[in-house]
């Protein structure tokens, strides 16, 4: 779980390097997830899956996952790394609300408190002194918020589809990202980038090794750790993102952004801890 969190915390850097080398982020996303999907597909065949019996909700899972990953990766290219990461980490709070509305899960007083803390942190982060009220400043902010919400949809759908084998859901997610990236490129009538063969190869390796390795380690961890503990460990992603952004970029966050971000982290941690005592 620590390995996967660290990889997600640093993924922005190779994506930016590939972008600078002539391979736009949407093309990179299409390639890396296509490779990951092709490598992982044989595991589904070994599951003896009867495709016609799979729930229709898997299609919604694929769409949600595709929108989540593409929006998140584009936001990391367009925006400030830590700001994007922290706004994305509102996802656990969206999951609480969606779980209450969609699955009928109980919303405790502690969960309501964490929601209020997260919303306060968001207001502080998005506050614009010149405007006098909180609002996303650019496309990256919007994409980060959207990615976090869609990730929450992804999580709730995964819980709803608990009876479906995890390898099947994983491959469905991969193909969902490929589909959304392809539609995005087609709708924009994008031409094939003129990046070198080395750049394309590096992107393929990232898909074949990094993305698959991250997925396998997360699944391995989730199968052996309580959900709340895994969620807390994944917060290590923010630590890696902060250190890597400070070391590898010239981005500087304002004090207000750090303050708001810390409240979001506290709320995400609190929600994860609530999973330990669902009856609280």
**Residue 144 belongs to some domain of the structure:** yes
84, part of any domain: yes
pLDDT tens across 198-244, in order? 999 999 998 888 888 888 888 787 767 776 677 778 888 888 888 89
Helices (H), 103-165: 109-126, 139-160
Q: Is residue 280 part of a domain?
A: no
The Cα-based distances of 134 to 95, 124, 127, 257 in angstroms read 22, 7, 4, 12
Residue 153 lies in a domain: yes
How many domains would you assign to the chain?
1
With beta carbons less than 8 A apart as the criterion, state whether 121 and 114 touch.
no
Q: What is the pLDDT of residues 54-88, one digit of tens each?
A: 778 889 999 999 999 999 999 999 988 988 988 88
Range of the domain at 244: 2-274
Q: Is residue 279 part of a domain?
A: no
Tokens of 183: 């539609």
In a domain, 71, yes or no: yes
pTM for the structure as a whole: 0.84
Q: Does residue 54 belong to any structural domain of this protein?
A: yes
Scan for tokens 């009220």, then name that residue. Answer: 133
Is 118 within a domain? yes
């Amino acid at each position: 779980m620590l390995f996967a969190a660290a990889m997600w915390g640093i993924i922005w850097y190779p994506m930016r390097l590939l972008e600078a080398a002539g391979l736009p982020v949407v093309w990179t996303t299409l390639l890396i997830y296509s490779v990951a999907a092709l490598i992982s597909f044989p595991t589904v065949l070994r599951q003896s899956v009867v495709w016609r019996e799979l729930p229709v909700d898997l299609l919604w899972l694929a769409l949600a996952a595709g929108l989540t990953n593409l929006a998140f990766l584009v936001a990391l290219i367009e925006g400030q790394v830590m700001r994007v990461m922290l706004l994305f980490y509102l996802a656990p709070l969206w999951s609480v609300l969606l779980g209450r509305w969609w699955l009928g899960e109980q919303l405790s007083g502690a969960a309501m408190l964490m929601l209020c803390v997260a919303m306060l942190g968001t207001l502080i982060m998005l506050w614009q002194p010149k405007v006098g009220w909180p609002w996303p400043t650019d496309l990256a902010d919007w994409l980060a918020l959207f990615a976090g919400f869609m990730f929450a949809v992804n999580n709730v759908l995964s819980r709803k589809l608990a009876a479906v084998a995890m390898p099947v859901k994983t491959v469905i997610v991969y193909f969902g990202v490929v589909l959304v990236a392809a539609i995005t490129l087609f709708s924009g009538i994008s031409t094939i980038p003129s990046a070198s063969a080395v750049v394309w190869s590096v992107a393929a390796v990232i898909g074949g090794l990094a993305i698959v390795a991250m997925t396998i380690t997360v699944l391995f961890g989730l199968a052996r750790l309580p959900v709340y503990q895994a969620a807390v460990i994944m917060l290590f992603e923010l630590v890696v993102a902060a250190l890597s952004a400070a070391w590898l970029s010239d981005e500087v966050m304002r004090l207000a952004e750090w303050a708001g971000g810390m409240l979001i982290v506290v709320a995400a941690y609190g929600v994860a801890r609530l999973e330990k005592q669902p009856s609280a």
